[in-house]
Chain A
Amino acid sequence: MKLDSLIPAPLRKPAKPGEGNGAKGAAPADLKTAPPERPTDTKKLADRAVEAPVDALAWVDQRTAASGFLTGMLFRKVPKGTNWFYTLGSATLFAFIVQAITGVFLAMFYTPSTTQAYASISHINNEVFLGAFVHGLHKWGSSVMVILIFLHMGRTFFFGAYKYPRELNWVIGVVLLILTMTMAFTGYLLPFDQRSFWASVVGININGTGPVVGPYLSDFLRAGPELGATTLSRFYAIHMLLVPGAIIALIGAHLYLVVKLGTTAPPWLKAKKPKAAAPVSQLNASANGSDK
């Protein structure tokens, strides 16, 4: 398989029993007249240098047993009929990664204070190298991420992919949706221009009209009688520490369950049952055979 040459030896798919380990050809007929060449010290060193990266990988693998997980994850089969709709989840993840990276660079230049926030954004836009571009990526990336997460949820809903055994992953996904909207809301205040300021005032007031916890929630968000310095630093901390941490942890859990349970097949596909309806125990036992 051509792919194998691209993958380091410890990560390669193990050979099937009886297929050999790649050593080919018979031993020399006469060891006396044609003795195997004795390698020189330099050649030994060169060989060892060539092997070094593989040895290092093997060293790590011995201690982590990561190769088993990696091969299992990379070569696991995705069901028949997997189509473009199934790329929406990884696209959402990609949008999040864009937000995380651009966010780090914006944080290097942004000052979360009511007196300096606006000027620091002007500085990013007008003076920092590629600042306006990175700011634009972060601003529009948020819209793209919101659209993608809703599309991903729509796909999961209409394909019935939230049903047994993937209920828990749906719940995690909905929490991720809420956290993404929290990011969108808290991030909107940070540029501290008229639009973001008054949108946040309205947003906080809307929260305040809610039943029972509404007033407490708006008090917590506003952090004072009026939207001001403490509100801004509070939104900043929520936007770049609290919620991103929670999102990263939940994405980890989400992906773990995706790998563990497998992605769904499109709901209109039906597998052709083998002629004799074999019980599942026998199907598992004959997993090596082809069923085409």
Chain B
Amino acid sequence: MKPADKQAYLEEYELLKKKGKPFFPYAVMKDSAMMLLVAAVIIAMSIVLGAEQGPKADPTSTTYVPRPEWYFFFLFELLRVIKPPELVPIATIGIPTICMVLLLLLPFYDRGPERNPIRRPIATTAGVMTIVAMAYLTFLGATGGSPTEIEMEVAPRYEAGKEIVAGAGCLACHKIGENGGTIGPELTHIAQLVPRAAIVRSVEIGPDIMPSYRDLPPKKLNELADFLSSLD
């Protein structure tokens, strides 16, 4: 912004300010009305939604699905969207850090005199796109899969088995496709290595540190085995 632009802005502002109304009581009334609305919303949320406790923290449990508070969903999703391990630091700290620095320094690189959003197409587009991206990632985090979801395309007849595997907590230890842990052996191509009968036996017995799933109803066990023995 050139010195002449600055001077023009100050003159313009002085004129608009002189045509304005006193802060008290006009702006104060609007502010107070808004504050009352905020108070009403918070009180209503407290009464309706409450502040219930979940189960007590248990550092030894490995099946609990970790999820952040909703306002960090976009960061959480960024981590899930970007899969290759060497890119993870960029996704988690790199992108947010760059965004924060860009945000902090905004007035120092956007120095044009124009203030009307319609006549600042680049800034307005960037702002809208940022909002859309964050809203989309937050939406993904809110609806889309928790880590108990297997993001893998399977034939419809294996869908039921996939749901059982996802719901039974297998992913806490086993990796299937893009999801799951590394404590147990990867199951993405398990059918190449182990016949169906052996899979069923492992699930029932629970070899080594794996818990036994003997209590699974036979129908579910069957569907689960169908799904796992289709992975080749």
Which A residues are closer than 8 A to B by beta carbons? 3, 73-82, 84, 86-88, 90-91, 94-95, 98, 114, 118, 121-122, 125, 132-133, 135-141, 143-144, 146, 148, 154, 157-167, 170-171, 174-175, 177-178, 181, 184-185, 188, 191-199, 201-203, 206-207, 209-211, 214, 226-228, 262, 264-265, 267-273, 280, 283-284, 287, 291-292
A202:B68 contact, CB within 8 angstroms: yes
- Whether B157 sits at the interface, judged by CB under 8 Å, is no
B115:A209 contact, CB within 8 angstroms: no
B23:A73 contact, CB within 8 angstroms: yes
- Whether B38 sits at the interface, judged by CB under 8 Å, is yes
A148:B94 contact, CB within 8 angstroms: no
B76:A202 contact, CB within 8 angstroms: yes
A160:B115 contact, CB within 8 angstroms: yes
B43:A268 contact, CB within 8 angstroms: no
Q: Name 17 A/B residue pairs within 8 A (Cβ), A-sorted.
A: A77-B21, A81-B20, A135-B46, A136-B45, A136-B47, A140-B45, A160-B123, A164-B5, A170-B107, A192-B57, A194-B55, A194-B57, A198-B66, A199-B69, A206-B79, A228-B59, A272-B15
**Bound Cα distance from A106 to B121, whole angstroms:** 47
Which B residues are closer than 8 A to A by beta carbons? 1, 5-7, 9-27, 30-31, 33-35, 37-39, 41-43, 45-47, 49-59, 61, 64-72, 75-76, 79, 88-89, 92-94, 97, 100, 103-104, 106-108, 110-118, 120, 123-124, 127, 131
**Bound Cα distance from A148 to B1, whole angstroms:** 30
Nearest CB in chain B: distance from A209 CB, A: 5
Among candidates B21, B69, B115, residue contacting A78 with C-beta atoms closer than 8 Å: B21
A210:B97 contact, CB within 8 angstroms: yes
Nearest CB in chain A: distance from B101 CB, A: 10
Chain B residues with CB below 8 A from A114, complex form: 57
A90:B31 contact, CB within 8 angstroms: yes
B116:A268 contact, CB within 8 angstroms: yes
Chain B residues with CB below 8 A from A88, complex form: 34
Give the secondary structure class of B's interface. helix
Nearest CB in chain A: distance from B206 CB, A: 24
Among candidates B12, B22, B53, B104, residue contacting A191 with C-beta atoms closer than 8 Å: B53
Q: A77-B17, A170-B107 are in contact. Are A210 and B53 (CB under 8 A)?
A: no
Among candidates A78, A174, A197, residue contacting B23 with C-beta atoms closer than 8 Å: A78
B19:A188 contact, CB within 8 angstroms: no
Chain A residues with CB below 8 A from B23, complex form: 73-78
A194:B9 contact, CB within 8 angstroms: no
Chain A residue at minimal CB-CB distance from B50: A136
Among candidates A78, A133, A177, A271, residue contacting B15 with C-beta atoms closer than 8 Å: A271
**Bound Cα distance from A209 to B89, whole angstroms:** 5
A210:B124 contact, CB within 8 angstroms: no
Q: Which 3 A-B pairs have the closest CB atoms?
A: A210-B93, A136-B46, A160-B115
Chain A residues with CB below 8 A from B76, complex form: 202, 206
